Chains A and B, each alone.
Chain A
Amino acid sequence: MANATDLALAADKPKFEPLSPEQLAWRRFRKHRMAMAALVILGLLMVYVVVGGQLVRGYCRPIDKTLTGEAWANCNDTGQKLRPPSALHPFGTDVIGRDILARTIYGGQISFLIGISAAIIEVILGTLVGSVSAFYGGWVDSVLMRITEAMLNIPTLFLLIVTAKFFGGKLPSVNLFGRELTGSVLVIILIIGATSWMYLARIVRANVLSLREMDFVAASRALGVSDRRIILTHLLPNTLAPITVAATLGVANAILSEAYVSFFGLGVQPPTASWGNMLDSAYRYLEEAPWLWLFAGTLILLTVLSVNYVGDGLRDALDPHGSRHM
């Protein structure tokens, strides 16, 4: 009872400001201890791949130069191949003698870039298809939903492999954030985005379908608001919670998908490192060189686990009464 009195007293004070929905969500998120821990770990991983990139350097024997940054990550000294972790190479060296520590850092940048960009594409496509489908209904809905179902009928990994093979080597290199990215990175981003939007589209569709019938939408329509504006300012903001959660989990899924596709040699092409392509062929050296897959694999696990926990926390925070499995 004391609490209630305190609150009542606090409410009387003029300085008391009610919490915004964002602040309330943040309060709930903070209570999810694992999600908070995951957020910290993700921050540390970001520091690792960003700051680490500025710090790594080493002496590249074949060209007789001390290299920094990505050049060091790509320096292959075949005389030093498959060396176990040592002071010079803290994570060991790979099959053609590149420093694995430097490659996990630069590979991490690529994996994060792929995860985030692919999730953005997924959200744009999924939201677009879901909202248009639900808002217009009729044949538009039928066509879009048949395509969605058709894509869900093919196992995700098969679809990814087929599209990766289709687009492989068709895009030019680009320069981004001062790094030369091979076209294969763009291809991977596009195909992961293009093959993962279906579940989000269904969630958005279901939400918009029920929102569409609400009075405030009817009111907007009576006022002559355009379809575009109704979708963008009335329907989608009310679906933001599941979209945010799906976007977060999408990052984790994209990082995993990249790893699987690159594992088959169809993903990011060397010399560019990614956590996925570092594992390509590593399983052939299971006995001799476990460090080949241990570090990159563990970084993937840590990242995906953290992102999933953040997603779980967001779900609890944004949608406290919502169903746990969408």
Chain B
Amino acid sequence: MINYIVRRLAQAVPQLFIISILLFGLMQAFGDPLATLGARTPPRAEDKIRLRRQLGLDQPVYVQYLVWLVGNDWMQVDANGDGAPDSPGTRKGILRGDWGVSLVTRQPVLVMIGERLPNTLLLMLTAYFITIIVSLVAGVYSAVRQYSLVDNVITTASFVGYSMPVFWLALMLMYIFAVNFKRWGLPYLPTVGMYDPAAGQTASEVIKHMVLPVTTLAIITIAGYSRYVRSAMLEVLSQDYIRTARAKGVTQRLIVLRHALKNASLPFVTLIGLDLPFLLAGAVVTERIFAWPGMGRLFIDQTERADFPVLMGILMLIAVAVVIFQIITDVAYSFLDPRIRLN
């Protein structure tokens, strides 16, 4: 087991290198991070040259990548920006836990991510929790009552949900429950932000603001997940041991919940394990529409500003999480299903 985990981690290292090189290369063409520096007026030309040198942006791409990776405290950098290296660098590089500093806000990348991550997790985990419960119930029910009216309704609805563009659903929900409910004088839901600045960040405010984005995310994911649960259940229910159980007179309830669901949930656990790390990424479209201050919005905002240390931080965080969760999922699977041997 330990061997297996170590080997998988070792295999993940080159993979993470491929990802980081690929992304770092792509980000070189993002435009000039110093174009506006977040201010309204662009900096003067000589200031830009000086800043470029101080930030090391005048270096070739591979040097910038090396600095990002292992830091620059082993080389001389141009700290005063006069065009000649003068003092040793201070960056440690991501391999030694230095995620770098945002080119735009000058805040450490970790601080910026740390501000957004809790918001994203609050949104995503709530939506995900609802998704799992609802898709289990809907999937199992429609598998047990295959081809019944309810099954047809659930299957069709999940097909529609699966094909629905996120923004269409989000805008529709906003239009109905915020705009029109307000128009009709009904209690209406807020559309944007995490809380009303006038009311402050209280629990009830945040919950009220979460309803629409969580519903949007849940509906989209439930659609895919319930289809998955349904087909996994159908596969198990058609197997011989279920028929044997039926022949022995085991009650339907016991067959479904104990015999079938237990086995059908194995692929579902895998699906959850592999999808969980992507929750860190937040929901780019949903966060944008509902102006939710999460990771997805941070990513989009910093993409527009070509702030690549932050973007690299976000993407590598997710990539590492994906690798770790893949291993956890495989190990968990071997515990749940003794037929699987890890080697």
Contacts and interface: CB of A to CB of B under 8 A. Distances in A.
Interface of A: 34, 146-147, 149-150, 153-155, 157-158, 161-163, 165-167, 252, 256, 259-260, 263-264, 279, 282-283, 286-287, 290, 293, 297-298, 300-301, 304-305, 308-309, 312, 324-325
A200 B16 CA distance: 22
Interface stretch (B48-56, B75-83, B116-124, B156-164): B156-164
A237 B231 CA distance: 27
Most buried by B among A146, A158, A305: A158
B159 A305 contact: yes
B22 interface: yes
Given A150-B22, A305-B159, A279 B167 contact: yes
B23 A154 contact: yes
A308 B191 contact: no
Contacts of A154: 19, 23, 315, 318-319
A263 B22 contact: no
A162 B191 contact: no
Interface of B: 14-16, 18-19, 22-23, 26-27, 29-31, 156, 159-160, 162-168, 170-172, 174-175, 178-179, 191, 227-228, 231, 278, 281, 284-285, 288-289, 299-300, 303, 311, 314-315, 318-319, 322-323
Contacts of A279: 167
A260 B168 CA distance: 11
Contact of B167 (A150, A259, A309): A259
Contact of B191 (A149, A286, A304): A286
5 contacts: A153-B322, A297-B167, A300-B168, A312-B159, A325-B228
Q: Give the secondary structure class of A's interface.
A: helix
Nearest to A165: B30
B30 A286 contact: no
Given A162-B23, A297-B165, A283 B281 contact: no
A162 B319 CA distance: 15
Given A158-B299, A166-B26, A264-B300, A153 B163 contact: no
A256 B163 CA distance: 9
A157 B285 contact: yes
A308 B163 contact: yes
A153 B319 contact: yes
Contacts of A157: 284-285
B19 A165 contact: no
B282 to A, nearest CB: 9
Contact of B179 (A256, A287, A325): A287
Given A155-B281, A163-B26, A259 B162 contact: no
B19 A264 contact: no
A324 B231 contact: yes
A158 B22 CA distance: 13
Contacts of A283: 167, 170-171, 174, 289
Contacts, number: 120
Most buried by B among A150, A308, A312: A150
Contacts of B172: 297
A150 B18 contact: yes
Contacts of A282: 171
A156 to B, nearest CB: 9
A153 B19 contact: yes
Nearest to A265: B304
A165 B175 contact: no
Contact of A166 (B29, B159, B299): B29
Top 4 nearest A-B pairs (CB, nearest first) are A297-B168, A305-B163, A304-B163, A150-B18
B30 A153 contact: no
A308 B162 contact: yes
Given A165-B303, A286-B174, A300-B165, A260 B285 contact: yes
A181 B236 CA distance: 51
A38 to B, nearest CB: 10
Given A153-B15, A155-B318, A286-B191, A166 B300 contact: no
B159 A309 contact: yes
Most buried by A among B164, B167, B299: B167
A59 to B, nearest CB: 31
A165 B162 CA distance: 27
Contacts of A297: 165, 167-168, 171-172
B300 A308 contact: no
A228 B65 CA distance: 39
A297 B172 CA distance: 10
A290 B175 contact: yes
A153 B323 contact: yes
A159 B156 CA distance: 31
A320 to B, nearest CB: 15
Contacts of B22: 150
A180 B162 CA distance: 34
Contacts of B16: 150
B70 to A, nearest CB: 20
B289 A259 contact: no
A308 B19 CA distance: 31
Nearest to B319: A153
Contacts of B30: 165-166
Contacts of B323: 153
B303 A161 contact: yes
Most buried by B among A153, A304, A324: A153
Contacts of B175: 286, 290
